[in-house]
């Protein structure tokens, strides 16, 4: 039966609008109609109570959640638990993210994501392989013992076709234009991150298929007066996307404001880089044998190194509004419409319009999540 979501304030491509219903059939938005439309009268009505309906949030960088870390157990069950944890905060699509690891773990992770997509695990859109083809100089919490230069077997594994998207973060200076071309021609989305590349190397990588930048500012060469670095190349390039971690710890709000003002509109997207504490009562987890704990909202090792985040997408959106000063509709698109476009899913995800997947977030007047819908089914609230 058709579902009609009524009595809501809906974020459309033309901004927030009210006075009409969103119709859902078989997991897809079939139309937006006035309450007097016969389809609305015949539908199963779901009253939004005057709340706001947003496109579902899409997170390209999710290491963990619900108390589990993808690296620890790259299985379908882990992916399901992570998805359930993040759905509480409006995430309707995500990429389980594998931190730099050995080839056998990477293969297991890819197989798990393929199986999860095949089984219809709610929210999983593909996989993000963050490393291991990255720079020791910008390793962050990644284990440099896992780093390597991509060989033929690595390329074949990463480029293997499966049911979802493959995003690969690498350091441009640790690869070649030929390797980039092979990856891109096989459908892999390549992002630059954890890199010590200079400006010219980064521009060359962009020319050979790099599509985005993983957590802009963090673990990359900065923008300076005589060497623009990776950050300068990223902000200058009109065609690429940048992920931003807006948690008040990774990047100063002033730097975020400058970056958003400099970058072409619709090319900035929110990511969480979330770790197991998101959606869990346990503030600690173990990474590489070291206990990591959340203190004052920041996830850090004993020596103070940032180790991912305790951020969820709903909080990221609120922070982008209140901490950075971005209008709410634009902040919501940074969490939905723009990441969908980055992943090549802009024709099916990230909009509330006819023909799009019925992935929604219902938020109250304080911008907190009340309901989450994936594929036309309410999974939270």
Q: What is the pLDDT of residue 266?
A: 96
Same domain, 95 and 223: yes
Domain-located, residue 181? yes
Residue 102 sits in the same domain as residue 16: no
Instruction: Answer for the pair 349, 58: CB distance below 8 angstroms, yes or no.
Output: yes
pLDDT of 304 reads: 87
Residue at 347 is within a domain: no
Whether 161 maps to a domain, the answer reads yes
In a domain, 375, yes or no: yes
Which pLDDT belongs to residue 18?
A: 95
Do 327 and 373 reside in the same domain of the chain? no
Show the domain range for 29. Answer: 3-54+353-380
DSSP secondary-structure letter at 172?
Answer: G
H/E stretch holding 11 reads strand 9-12
The tens digit of pLDDT for each residue in 245-280 reads 999 999 999 999 999 999 999 999 999 999 999 999
Is-contact 317 332, C-beta < 8 A? yes
Same domain, residue pair 364 and 320: no
Listed in sequence order, the residues at least 6 apart from 182 whose beta carbon sits closer than 8 Å to its beta carbon are: 155, 159
Same domain, 130 and 254: yes
The number of folded domains in the chain is: 2
Beta carbons within 8 Å of 134's beta carbon, 6+ residues apart: 100, 142, 147, 169, 170, 171, 174, 193, 194, 195
Going from the C-alpha of 257 to that of each of 30, 94, 229, the distances in angstroms are 37, 25, 19
Question: Is position 25 within any domain?
Answer: yes
Residues 337 and 207 in one domain: yes
CB 57 within 8 A of CB 373: no
How many CB atoms are located within 10 Å of the residue 165 CB?
22
Looking at the structure, tell me whether residues 186 and 129 fall in a common domain: yes
| Tokens 């969908």, located at residue | 340
pLDDT of residue 287: 87
| 313: in domain | yes
Longest dimension (CA), the chain: 65
Looking up residue 27, the CATH number of its domain turns out to be 2.30.40.10
Q: Is 296 labeled as catalytic in the residue annotation?
A: no
d(C-alpha 275, C-alpha 293), whole Å:
10
Residues 20, 141 within the same domain? no
Q: Are 314 and 368 in contact (CB under 8 A)?
A: yes
User: Within this chain, do residues 84 and 7 fall inside the same structural domain, yes or no?
Assistant: no
pLDDT of residue 136: 97
- Low-confidence residues of the chain: pLDDT under 70: none
Residues 86 and 175 in one domain: yes
**Residues 170 and 317 both lie in one domain:** yes
Q: What angle do CA 95, 96, 97 make, to 5 degrees?
A: 100
Question: Quick check: is 348 in a domain?
Answer: no
Instruction: Give me the pLDDT at residue 160, please.
Output: 86
Closest CA to 93 of 68, 118, 54, 60: 60
> In the block, which residue shows the tokens 């080839």?
103
d(C-alpha 248, C-alpha 259), whole Å: 15
pLDDT at residue 303 in the model? 86
Distance, in Å, from the CA atom of 39 to the CA atom of 17, rounded to the nearest integer, reads 19
Please list the residues that pair with 242 across neighbouring strands: 213, 268
Specify if 360 maps to a domain.
Answer: yes
CATH of residue 61: 3.20.20.140
Write down the residue that tokens 């594994």 correspond to: 157
Catalytic residue among 273, 312, 359, 364: 273
Instruction: List helix spans (H) across the chain.
Output: 38-42, 76-87, 103-119, 152-158, 177-185, 199-207, 229-236, 253-262, 313-322, 328-334, 337-342
Rounded to 5 degrees, φ, ψ at 241 are: -110, 150
For residue 365, the model assigns a pLDDT of 97
Co-location of 29 and 147 in the same domain? no
């Amino acid at each position: 039966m058709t579902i009609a979501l009524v009595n809501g304030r809906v974020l459309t491509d033309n901004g927030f609008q009210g006075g009409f219903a969103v119709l859902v059939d078989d997991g897809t938005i079939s139309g937006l109609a006035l309450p007097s439309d016969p389809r609305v009268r015949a539908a199963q009505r779901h009253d939004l109570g005057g709340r706001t309906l947003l496109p579902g949030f899409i997170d390209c960088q999710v290491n963990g959640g619900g108390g589990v870390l993808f690296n620890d157990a790259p299985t379908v069950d882990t992916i399901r638990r992570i998805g359930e944890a993040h759905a509480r905060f409006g995430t309707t699509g995500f990429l389980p993210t594998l931190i730099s690891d050995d080839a056998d773990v990477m293969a297991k992770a890819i197989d798990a994501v393929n199986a999860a997509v095949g089984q219809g695990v709610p929210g999983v859109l593909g996989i993000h392989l963050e490393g291991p083809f990255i720079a020791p100089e910008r390793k962050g919490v990644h284990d440099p013992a896992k780093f390597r230069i991509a060989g033929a077997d690595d390329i074949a594994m990463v480029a293997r076709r499966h049911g979802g998207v493959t995003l690969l973060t690498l350091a441009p200076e640790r690869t070649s234009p030929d390797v980039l071309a092979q990856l891109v021609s096989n459908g892999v989305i390549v992002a630059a991150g954890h890199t010590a590349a200079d400006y010219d190397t980064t521009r060359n990588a962009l020319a050979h298929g790099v599509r985005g930048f993983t957590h802009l500012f963090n673990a990359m060469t900065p923008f300076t007066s005589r060497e623009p670095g990776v950050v300068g190349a990223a902000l200058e390039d009109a065609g690429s996307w940048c992920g931003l971690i807006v948690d008040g710890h990774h990047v100063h709000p002033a730097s975020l404001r400058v970056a958003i003002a400099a970058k072409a509109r619709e090319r900035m997207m929110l990511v969480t880089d979330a770790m197991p504490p998101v959606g869990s009562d346990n503030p600690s987890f173990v990474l590489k044998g070291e206990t990591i704990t959340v203190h004052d909202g920041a996830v850090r090792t004993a020596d103070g190194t940032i180790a991912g985040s305790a951020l969820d997408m709903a909080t990221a959106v609120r922070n982008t509004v209140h901490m950075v000063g971005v209008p709410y509709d634009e902040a919501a698109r940074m969490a939905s419409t723009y990441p969908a476009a980055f992943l090549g899913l802009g024709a099916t995800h990230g909009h509330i319009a006819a023909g799009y997947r019925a992935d929604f977030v219902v938020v109250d007047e304080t911008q907190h999540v009340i309901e989450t819908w994936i594929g036309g089914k309410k999974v939270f609230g």
